[in-house]
Structure 1
Amino acid sequence: MPTVLNPYLSFRDNAREAMTFYQSVFGGELRVSTFGEYQASEDPAEGDKVMHGMLTTPHGLVLMGADTPNGMEYTPGSSISISLSGEDEAELRGYYDKLSDGGSVTVPMEKSPWGDIFGMCTDRYGVAWLVNVNAAQGTTGAP
């Protein structure tokens, strides 16, 4: 198996809801383990929180996420974005539309100066997404 790089998102008390939302966007199988299942927290109130969630899609995408325990600092921010790119415009527009529903559009999906179709949005959980449909002439996508 080759080495892979997967986005791992942190949440505060809504990881299950967020990961279920991403499953509705991308499809696939969602596996969730709680702190309680592994006795990973001494705080009984954290028993149902997500210790590890992993969404694996039919197209090979993997997205992971978890709730941040109460004893750990949690600062949501804009220091990371997740990028989706490829050549299937209908598929990528579908992801963009679902991700932006309930969130906000930063850049509408339209032809970009580099020739691709590109859009940016922030989903309802505050995660920033970049979506790029590669131009037919084989460009590599957004810089």
Structure 2
Amino acid sequence: MASRLNPYIAFDGNAREAMEFYHEVLGGKLELGTFADFGSSESPDADRIMHATLTTADGFTVMAWDVPERVPFDPGTNVALYLGGDDPGLREYFEGLSAGGTVAMPLRKQIWGDEAGTLVDRFGITWMFNITGTRS
């Protein structure tokens, strides 16, 4: 059996908005389920996202949820989502995800021959990009 590792992002009530934005930029199939959908219709969290999965044609999988109100939400800065490869279309993802966010390091050629850049999207999530260049 194969294993895989994907990011699972916690949000404080705006998981739906974030995942719809990621879906708009990255494409693919988005599945959203609220706490009510999973049987917690009487919960104060009923309308929050309990589980969301975005699966793209490029093979990306991003998962997310809204932390329940009873659970402390303390976002960290030690986690980033990494998109890398040789597909020039990654530049479009960089531009799309930077809308409303902050580009920390513009996408440009680096000393190792690849294009790399970093941004923080409008939801406070850090994205790191590396587009493989032609090696000499």
- For the aligned pair, the TM-score class normalised by the smaller chain equals over 0.9
> How big is the shift at 1:40?
3.7
Q: Give the superposed CA RMSD.
A: 1.4
The count of residues paired between Structure 1 and Structure 2 equals 136
Deviations 1:74-119 (A, max 9, x none): 1112110111101112x11000001111000000011112111011
Q: Which aligned pairs between 1:44-63 and structure 2 lie closer than 5 A?
A: 45-63=44-62
Once superposed, which parts of structure 1, at least 4 consecutive aligned residues long, lie more than 2 Å away?
39-43
- State the TM-score, normalizing by the size of structure 2: 0.95
- The answer for the alignment partner of 1:126 in structure 2 is 124
- The answer for the alignment partner of 2:63 in structure 1 is 64
- State the TM-score, normalizing by the size of structure 1: 0.90
2:64 is paired with a residue of what secondary structure?
Answer: strand
- The answer for the alignment partner of 2:86 in structure 1 is 87
- The answer for the alignment partner of 2:38 in structure 1 is 38
- The answer for the alignment partner of 1:135 in structure 2 is 133
Match of 1:97 among 95, 100, 108: 95
Gaps of 5+ in 1: 139-143
1:115 is paired with a residue of what secondary structure?
Answer: coil
Deviations 1:17-43 (A, max 9, x none): 000000011100000111011224752
Q: Which amino acid aligns with 2:117?
A: G
